[in-house]
Amino acid sequence: MNKYDIAAYVWPSYTGDELRARMFWNEGYGEWQTVRTAEAKFPGHSWPRKPLWGYVNEADPNIMEMEINEAADHGVNVFIYDWYWFDRRPFLEACLNNGFLGAKNNNRMQFYLMWANHNANHLWNKDLSDTECGSTVIWQGGLDRTGFEEMCRRIIRKYFGIENYYRINGCPVFMIYEITTLIEGLGGLEHTKSALDWFRDEVKKAGFPGLHLQFTGRGDIPMHLSGVDTDSTISVYKAMEYLGADSFTHYQFVHFVDIDRDYNEVMEDVKREWKKIDLRCPVPYFPHISCGWDNNPRFKKFRPGIIKNNTPENFEKALRAAKEYADRHQNNVPLITINSWNEWTETSYLEPDDLYGYGYLDAIKRVFVEGK
């Protein structure tokens, strides 16, 4: 059994199995379409890159058996699936349902869901992402109470009872990506607390000791207390406390630090953020490490904001910092989140490529498996 739970986010778009995805990637193999057309935007830009495993369909259980073995052998023992619910139904679910859960060896890993409750726009369509249509909302990420209950019942029924669903103290872990969108959709802070209390009760009715509710953080930003415009605000930390959050982590460095710098400089600010969290946050924090950031593959024009020098060697230093943080917080589960398994179009992935090979995976293995 691993001493540390190393959990990598999975972006479930590298499959052509879902017809609704064709509106973004019309060639029928998901966002690999974007990866294959990525070009260098300036001299020295590290794109294009190619996956060593090829442009594989990650909804194919045979492919996922290989990926599970590679992940587990290198110390990644949890996948956190970006999970979507748009227009009263799931989106991009085949990667989890058909791929991971269909793989014969999925018992080598655990998994849990992060409800990616952001709005969907044309960011994923490279032909429109640079245009005025790029920010046009296609589907709203927030849900009202009826929609929220419908979604939660399905999650409890379909996923929480699976043997290798990740639990803390017996409670299935469920992460929510945007706390502000959650509150706005449900009509304010009090209504959100009521909805989450209902969710916890439903989880208990299903036979679990409770729900472990986890949020992703974006720094200490104020948010509206209600679902309408108001001058009354609250910090994200106070909101998490009021809503009864059990823990939080981050999804990406870009959400809380200036990333247009050297990776080592970014990490110094990340460690300062961890210290601030220890002083001010009322709920347990699980440290997060990102491989990098550069979302230029999703655009035809240059997009500023790129982490530089994010080599496997510097990534390994960051992992050691996260390990030290976990070791200092012995009362917490030793969970560390990583962005990501396969965020190719944001240039933050563990999967091997033609630039660094298995460098990022080998770094995890050295730190958390071999203990070197």
In a structure prediction context, what are the per-residue pLDDT tens digits for the chain, which is 372 residues long? Answer: 469 999 999 999 999 889 999 999 999 999 999 999 999 999 999 999 999 999 999 999 999 999 999 999 999 999 999 999 999 999 999 999 999 999 999 999 999 999 999 999 999 999 999 998 899 999 999 999 999 999 999 999 999 999 999 999 999 999 999 999 999 999 999 999 999 999 999 999 999 999 999 999 986 666 555 544 455 577 888 999 999 999 999 999 999 999 999 999 999 999 999 999 999 989 999 999 999 999 999 999 999 999 999 999 999 999 999 999 999 999 999 999 999 999 999 999 999 999 999 999 999 999 999 987
What's the pLDDT at 218?
A: 83
CA pair distance 73, 68, nearest whole angstrom: 8
What's the pLDDT at 1?
A: 46
What's the pLDDT at 220?
A: 64
CA pair distance 254, 293, nearest whole angstrom: 7
Assess contact for 210 and 172: CB atoms under 8 A: no
Q: Is 145 helix (H, G, I), strand (E, B) or coil?
A: helix
Compute how many other C-beta atoms are within 10 angstroms of the C-beta atom of residue 333: 16
What's the pLDDT at 221?
A: 61
- Residue whose structure tokens are 């349902």: 97
Compute how many other C-beta atoms are within 10 angstroms of the C-beta atom of residue 254: 22
What's the pLDDT at 228?
A: 47
What's the pLDDT at 345?
A: 98
What's the pLDDT at 222?
A: 62
Write out the two tokens for 37: 């057309």
Please tell me the pTM assigned to this model.
0.96
Q: Is 313 helix (H, G, I), strand (E, B) or coil?
A: helix
CA pair distance 186, 220, nearest whole angstrom: 22
The answer for residues whose C-beta is within 8 angstroms of residue 176's C-beta and 6 or more apart is 114, 115, 117, 182, 213, 214, 215, 216
CA pair distance 291, 103, nearest whole angstrom: 26
Please state the φ and ψ torsions of residue 306, each to the nearest 5 degrees: -135, 130
Assess contact for 218 and 255: CB atoms under 8 A: yes
What's the pLDDT at 16?
A: 87
Domains of the chain: residue spans and CATH = 5-369 (3.20.20.80)
CA pair distance 186, 42, nearest whole angstrom: 44
DSSP conformation class of 156: I
What's the pLDDT at 96?
A: 98
Selection from 124, 122, 116, 123 nearest residue 143 by Cα: 116
Buried b (16+ CB within 10 A) or exposed e, 104-129: eebeebbbbbbbbbbbbbbbbbbebb
CA pair distance 47, 37, nearest whole angstrom: 10
